[in-house]
Amino acid sequence: MPAVESYLKPEVITQIKRLDLRAQFVVKGFLQGLHASPFQGFSVEFSEHRRYSHGDDPADIDWLVYAKTDKYYVKKFEAETNITGYLAMDLSKSMGFTYRQELTKFDYSVCLAAALCYLMIHQQDPVGLVTFDEKIRDCLLPKSRRSQLANVLSHLSQLQPDGQTDIAMSLGQLAAMLKQRSLVMVFSDFLTDTPPVFESLRRLRHGGHDVILFHVLDEAEVTFPFDGMVELQDPESDDTLVVEAEGFRQDYAQEIAGFREEYAAECRHIGVDYVPLDTSMQFDRALMEYLMSRRSRC
């Protein structure tokens, strides 16, 4: 049995090809870690047993009850509060980048979104999917039944990042589309001008929606692990810049730190949860951010 931390490492998850198994693997490790933490029990509460029926997850079977009754019962969990969730996935070409990690930014985001979908369905929360580049491309409406997990994961597994992006336009479209208060979880590298994005985020908040930004960068985009002369290329415009790594590293580090801090400060100001991630990080931080967002709405 792998250590709990192993379930949450991107380099481990690459060994699992099927997205549904990846999602279960991540959530299983996360919940095991959660149960051993001070947060035990706050996300879902045990309510009752019911007879096992076709379509139920065998992992929910209470084997102690089976030992006493020789019948299959599952533990029924009741969420503290129902949240309608939307997973909003950036399809732009820049999301397909990786330097030395196993997962691209897009792969990492898809795995994280799949795990969150699995977790929301487990908690009987409706969840849907929105994909966007220069505009919203597709939308799966939120549902809470188990078949929704297969629908969302099937769609996620077929996506490919390509082309340019207009995050502000897409989030503005999403704000106009939503008719009820929702939790919007955005997965993007946000490599675009910041003021229009901030305006769209304010519009989402003005509509009463809760928002979590999962700001996913490649590990190399954060650490700049290069030496010698380096050619940097914008994946969406194909513009290139040749720099000397040692002389450029300090300025780059300041720029990337400032970029993230600008997002963090604006998100604090308008009440958006901001989660800076890179593709070498375990998935548990993002999953905990989701659960804390649930708790804040109770």
> Cβ(259)–Cβ(217) under 8 Å?
no
Residue 36 DSSP class: T
Write down the pLDDT at residue 48. 53
Q: What is the pLDDT of residue 43?
A: 41
What was the pLDDT predicted at 163?
Answer: 83
Summary mean pLDDT of the chain: 83
Residue 38 has a pLDDT of 42
Q: How do the domains of the chain map onto residue ranges?
A: 44-79, 85-296
Please check whether residue 19 is in contact with residue 110, taking contact to mean a CB–CB distance below 8 angstroms.
yes
Query: How far apart, in Å, are the Cα atoms of 54 and each of 42, 58, 72, 281?
Result: 29, 10, 11, 37
Predicted TM-score (pTM) of this structure: 0.79
Question: What pLDDT, on a 0 to 100 scale, did the predictor assign at position 244?
Answer: 81
CB 94 within 8 A of CB 238: no
Q: What is the pLDDT of residue 291?
A: 75
Quick check: 45 pLDDT over 70? no
Mean local confidence (pLDDT), 248-256: 91
Element (H, E) at 274: strand 273-278
pLDDT tens per residue, range 137-196: 999 999 999 899 999 999 999 999 998 999 999 999 999 999 899 999 999 999 999 999
Q: Which of 114, 120, 123 is nearest to 155 (CA)?
A: 114
Given this model, what pLDDT does residue 241 score? Answer: 80
> Alpha-carbon distance 197 to 218, whole Å?
20
DSSP-derived letter for residue 183 is E
What's the whole-number mean pLDDT along residues 44-53? 54
Q: Could you give phi then psi for residue 81, rounded to 5 degrees?
A: -155, 145
| Residue 281 DSSP SS3 | coil
Is residue 59 within 8 Å of residue 118, measured between CB atoms?
A: no
Contact in structure between 75 and 65 (CB atoms under 8 Å): no
pLDDT higher than 70, residue 41: no
Q: Considering the domain 85-296, what is its CATH architecture?
A: 3-Layer(aba) Sandwich (3.40)
Please say if the pLDDT value at position 297 is more than 60.
no
Confidence band (pLDDT; 50, 70, 90) for 93? very high
* Poorest-pLDDT segment among 25-29, 39-43, 223-227, 283-287: 39-43
Q: Which residue has the higher pLDDT, 226 or 127?
A: 127
User: If you average pLDDT over residues 67-96, what whole number do you get?
Assistant: 77
